[in-house]
Amino acid sequence: MRYDQYGKKPTEPGEPTEPTDPTDPTDPTEPSEPTDPSEPTEPAVRIRPDVWKLDPWDPTIEWYARAIAEMRTRSLDDPSGWRFQAAIHAYNRSGDPYAAPGDTLPSSGDQQRFWNQCQHSSWYFLPWHRMYLGHFEAIVAQTVEQLGGPSGWSLPYWNYSDDSNPDARRIPPAFREPTLPDGTTPNPLRVSQRVAAANSGGIVADPAEVDIVDALDETVFVGTAFGGTTGFGGPQTAFNHGGGPPGKLEMTPHGDVHVAVGGSFPPGFMSRFNTAGLDPLFWLHHANIDRMWSVWLARAPGNANPSENAWKQSPTFEFHDAAGQVVGMTSEEVVDSTSSPFFYRYEDESDPLATPAPSAAVAAAAAAAGEEVEMTQEPAEMVAASDEKTRLRGRAVTTRVAVESPIRTRRAPRGAAAAAPGPPQRIHLNLENIRGTHPVPHRVYIDLPEGADPDDHPERLAGTVSMFGLAEASGEDQEHPGSGLQYALDITRLVEALGEEWDPEELRVTLVPKQRPAEAPPGAEAAAAPAAEAAEHPTIEIGRISVYRTP
């Protein structure tokens, strides 16, 4: 039996609700065990449900829609307002689609303190977004109650990587309907600033874009910004609003799903840092990313959060809670989602992969050899690099990367850890300083045969790069230095699979632009897209392509 989010039948939206009975043992806002009234009590753990396992207009979803409609009426300087919440992630006045002359902006001090705070390409990516979602969820829950709904509303998650659900890579129906179930009220869950296929029910993401194997197989949380693995959670940084390579989970599926929903021509809400929070799907997408953090931690004994104080205790990120009070938090305060301050877990936090985690294999091999292995990232060495920039213009492009020293050495490859205790050698393909205006996702292949159709060679696919946030990362302003995007793709398995089937002096890297989703039902929106895409393909420039290996 599936876990009920509320522990009881939720109230239908539009129906008045009775005040919560404080003695009701199933009320999630009350403790499940009798306690001393003089002692502070903790709320029960709520369940964040899988949106695809809810009815299309389950009360959780309909109340979300009604709360959003209410939050949209609040002014731009109201911390509980829809636009303020999106601006916490990122905001640019000149790119605000809802900007109006009558807007009341927060003071410049408050803007600097509370807006443009999102942490990307950083080991703070996961804890910061957990805090962000937690406070947003509390504000929505309070709004639901104010509208006469039940208490304890919980944010659903969108599991687009669910292989058992053929519709997983479509956006859920309630997010594309033009009206609420009453047939007349405009549906705030549907925004038009999405890729054409999204609102017409098409599949928006390729399987590779929602592939979670690389992320969940990562053995370390903290990565490096200098060519090697970027880790599950991202490289160690200070406060980092952007710039540098993202961690494995942030890269795929996080970035890919952003652009898969938002599109490229023009970039929709989800494709840009500055507008992503304006799409109601953003919050369900990030709930799933947050869920993957819990899944990864439970997947293998060696998977662990950073132990450094720099991660646990600094910096203090500030938000407004549902009461409008400023709350400061550090990473260590949110590592356990089931306890204070947020009290939730996900409907399904089980390991979705059939294969064991590589870290478990390494640990088993080390144990068999009577050794101890610490899962840490090692400094990587650049062994190959392109001499020229790579320019992408909507067609497949191949760049030749000259090899300076052997890409493989004597050490055991990843996946062969059982034969050789110790952290396995890792090889990463780096795409450095990518700049442009339109985030066109690309698939990256290694050593495709001349003239071959990339679709015929999935074994040569190194991964996908979404280009999420390309415009923001490329511009020089008060928030971004203009370095562009960076990616590090783990090609260890691919290199091993290729064996000796390549030129030791030169690596060929082919980037193939993502085609429009092919399974969209015919419709006006879908039909309009190809012409727009063909009309203009602004150049995306990759500063350098390089290969790094651990020593």
Partner 1 sequence: MVASGAGSTGTMVAGGGHAGHAGHAAHGPGDAGPLAVWPTLAHWQLMVVAMMFPLILQSVRTTAFRSFAARRHRAIGLFLLGHLLPWTLLGAVVAVVIPSRPTPLGVATAFAVAAVWQLTPTKRRALVACHRSQALAPRGWSADRDCALFGARIGTSCVMSCWALMLACTVAGHVLPVLLACGLLGAAERFSWRPRTRWLSGATAALGVVFAVGWPG
Footprint on this chain of partner 1 (rule: CB under 8 A): 109, 112-113, 225-227, 238-241, 243-244, 315, 379-382, 385-387, 389, 402, 404-405, 432-433, 476-483, 486, 543-544, 546
The distance of closest approach from Cβ of residue 550 to partner 1 in the complex, given in angstroms and rounded to an integer, is 13
Closer residue to partner 1 (CB): 358 or 484: 484
Task: Tell me if 279 sits within 8 A of 261, measured CB to CB.
Answer: yes
The distance of closest approach from Cβ of residue 486 to partner 1 in the complex, given in angstroms and rounded to an integer, is 8
Task: Tell me if 466 sits within 8 A of 256, measured CB to CB.
Answer: yes
The distance of closest approach from Cβ of residue 314 to partner 1 in the complex, given in angstroms and rounded to an integer, is 10
Closer residue to partner 1 (CB): 380 or 427: 380
Could you report how far apart the first and last alpha carbons of the chain are, in Å? 50
The distance of closest approach from Cβ of residue 411 to partner 1 in the complex, given in angstroms and rounded to an integer, is 17
The distance of closest approach from Cβ of residue 343 to partner 1 in the complex, given in angstroms and rounded to an integer, is 29
DSSP 331: G
Contacts of 200 (CB under 8 A, 6+ apart): 176, 520, 521, 523, 525, 526
Closer residue to partner 1 (CB): 402 or 419: 402
The distance of closest approach from Cβ of residue 481 to partner 1 in the complex, given in angstroms and rounded to an integer, is 4
Closer residue to partner 1 (CB): 510 or 546: 546
**Rounded alpha-carbon distances, angstroms, from residue 357 to 34, 38, 250:** 41, 46, 19
Closer residue to partner 1 (CB): 178 or 551: 551
The distance of closest approach from Cβ of residue 473 to partner 1 in the complex, given in angstroms and rounded to an integer, is 11
The distance of closest approach from Cβ of residue 472 to partner 1 in the complex, given in angstroms and rounded to an integer, is 12
Residue 239 to residue 257: CA distance in whole angstroms: 24
Question: Measuring CA to CA, which residue among 432, 303, 277, 320 is closest to residue 361?
Answer: 303
Closer residue to partner 1 (CB): 244 or 267: 244
Closer residue to partner 1 (CB): 235 or 280: 235
Residue 384 to residue 404: CA distance in whole angstroms: 5
Inter-residue long-range contacts of 515-521, CB under 8 Å, 24+ positions, other chains counted: 516/195, 516/196, 516/197, 517/195, 517/197, 517/202, 517/203, 517/204, 517/205, 517/260, 518/203, 519/197, 519/202, 519/203, 520/196, 520/197, 520/200, 520/201, 520/202, 520/203, 521/200, 521/201, 521/202
The distance of closest approach from Cβ of residue 134 to partner 1 in the complex, given in angstroms and rounded to an integer, is 21
The distance of closest approach from Cβ of residue 121 to partner 1 in the complex, given in angstroms and rounded to an integer, is 11
Closer residue to partner 1 (CB): 285 or 544: 544
**Which position has the token pair 């009206």?**
179
Query: What type of residue is 338?
Result: T
Residue 60 to residue 67: CA distance in whole angstroms: 11
Residue 340 to residue 531: CA distance in whole angstroms: 51
Closer residue to partner 1 (CB): 285 or 549: 549
Closer residue to partner 1 (CB): 142 or 237: 237
Q: Is the dihedral of CA 71, 75, 76, 80 positive or negative?
A: negative
CA–centroid distance for 485 within its chain: 15
**Rounded alpha-carbon distances, angstroms, from residue 413 to 107, 287, 410, 420, 491:** 54, 34, 9, 9, 11
